[in-house]
Amino acid sequence: MKLAILGTGFIVKEGALPALKEVPDVDVVAIFARPASRGKAEELSVAYDIPKVYTDYEELLADAEIDFVYVALINSVHYEYTKKALLAGKNVIVEKPFASAAREVQELKNLAVSRTLYVFEAVTIHYLPNFAAIRENLPRLGKIKAVVANYSQYSSRYDKYLQGEVLPAFDPKRSGGALYDINIYNLNFIIGLFGKPESLTYTANLGFNGIDTSGMVNMKYPDFFALAIGAKDTESPGYITIQGEKGYIKVIDKPNELRSFEISLRGSGVTTHYELNRYSHRMVHEFQEFARIYAAGDYETMKRGLEVSVAVLETAETARRQVGIVFPGDAE
C-alpha cells in the first residue's frame, strides 16, 4: 500500500504517523498540506522520511505511485476530498466522521463499489482484538437489556470557545460538535455490535452558535435501549456497559481505545479481565487490517464496513437534526 497523507494536524502528528511506523505493509510516500501549512508538512516529511510534499491536490492525485490517500482534514471537507480521490482512481482511508451527511456517505460508497475501489472509515475500535472478543462473548450475556457508552473529555479548545473564538471542533460550518467528534465512537461501538436503532432521541447542550458541546443519544432497539453520551465541555472516566439477563460486559477505558474489558456472569462469582490489543498505539491495528484487506482483495469485508459507516451517519444525522444543527453537507 503506497499511501499519501492529507493533513498535518493532531491526528496525523500524534496518531497516524507514529502508528504507521509499526505497519511495514504501508509505505507513506507523500504528505499534503495547504500552501500556508507547507512548512509543517516539510517538517513531518523530514521526521518520518516521507519523500514527497504536495500543496496541490490535483498534482497529488496525478501521482501514479500513490494508490491510497488518507483524508485527515477537517470534517466538512471529508466528502469533497474523498470523492475527488475516488474519481481519480485512488483508494481512500477517511478519518471519522466519514462525511457530514448520510447521503454523502451513501454516494461515496456507491462510487467506490462501482469502480471496485477500497474506502475505509478510520474508526479504530472496529479493528481492535478487544472489540472482536466483546462481539464473540455477547451470547454469554443472554438477552441484552441495556447498553451505556460514555466518552466525555474536556476539549482543549473549549476555553477559547467560551471566550467567543470558534475553532473547527465547535463550528457547525465545519461539521464540528460533540456528536460528530467524540460521541461518534460510542455510536460506532453500539451500531457495530447491534445495528441501526429503531428510533432515537438526541438531547444536547447547545453553545452560543448552536453547536452541541455535549449530548446523549437515547436509542431504542426491539428488546433493549442504548445510551451514547459524549461531552467536550466536561470530563469523566470513559466506560461502556452491556447488560444482559445472564451477566454484563464492562469496558474500563475510553471508548475510542478499548484497552481492556471484563465479563461477569450472574451467579458465577467470577469476573474475567481481558486485555487483548497487541499495541500501545490504538491506530496500529486498523492500518494493519486495511493493508491486509487490500492485499488479500477482501472486498466483502470492506463493503461490510461501509454498511456500518452508512448506518452510523444516518443515526448521527437524525440526532443532530432533532436539535437543529445544520451542516454544509445537508441537502437544501
User: pLDDT per residue over 24-55, tens digit each?
Assistant: 999 999 999 999 999 999 999 999 999 999 99
Please state the φ and ψ torsions of residue 7, each to the nearest 5 degrees.
120, 160
| Residue that finishes a domain, picked among 102, 122, 142 | 122
Q: What is the model's pLDDT at position 328?
A: 86
Question: How much of the chain exceeds pLDDT 70, in percent?
Answer: 99
157 and 72 in a common domain: no
Q: With helix as H, strand as E and coil as C, how does 121-168 read?
A: EECHHHHCHHHHHHHHHHHHHCCEEEEEEEEECCCCCHHHHHCCCCCH
Q: Is the pLDDT of residue 332 over 60?
A: no
Rounded Cα gap, residues 277 and 284, in angstroms: 10
Q: Which of 175, 184, 50, 84 is nearest to 124 (CA)?
A: 184
Rounded Cα gap, residues 244 and 222, in angstroms: 14
E strand or H helix that includes residue 261: strand 261-265
279 and 131 in a common domain: yes
Question: Structural domain of residue 109, as residue ranges?
Answer: 2-122
Q: Is the pLDDT of residue 329 over 90?
A: no
251 and 137 in a common domain: yes
Determine, yes or no, domain membership for 64: yes
Determine, yes or no, domain membership for 295: no
Cell 426491539 locates to: 222
Q: Which three cell numbers stand for residue 33?
A: 498540506
Averaged over 310-315, what is the pLDDT? 98
Q: Is the pLDDT of residue 263 over 60?
A: yes
| Residue that finishes a domain, picked among 122, 138, 161 | 122
Q: What is the model's pLDDT at position 36?
A: 93
How is 51-99 classified by DSSP, letter by letter? -EEES-HHHHHT-TT--EEEE-S-GGGHHHHHHHHHHTT-EEEEESS--
Q: Beta strand pairing status for 261-265 and 247-251? A: antiparallel
What pTM, to 2 d.p., does this model score?
A: 0.96
Convert the pLDDT of each residue in 84-108 to its tens digit.
Answer: 999 999 999 999 999 999 999 999 9
Determine, yes or no, domain membership for 229: yes
130 and 118 in a common domain: no
Q: What is the model's pLDDT at position 330?
A: 81
| Residue that finishes a domain, picked among 122, 147, 168 | 122
Per the prediction, the chain carries an average pLDDT of: 96
Determine, yes or no, domain membership for 296: no
User: Coil, strand, or helix at residue 40?
Assistant: helix
257 and 212 in a common domain: yes
Determine, yes or no, domain membership for 289: no
331 pLDDT band (50/70/90 cuts)?
low
- Report angle CA 275, 239, 250 to the nearest 5 degrees: 55
Averaged over 185-192, what is the pLDDT? 98
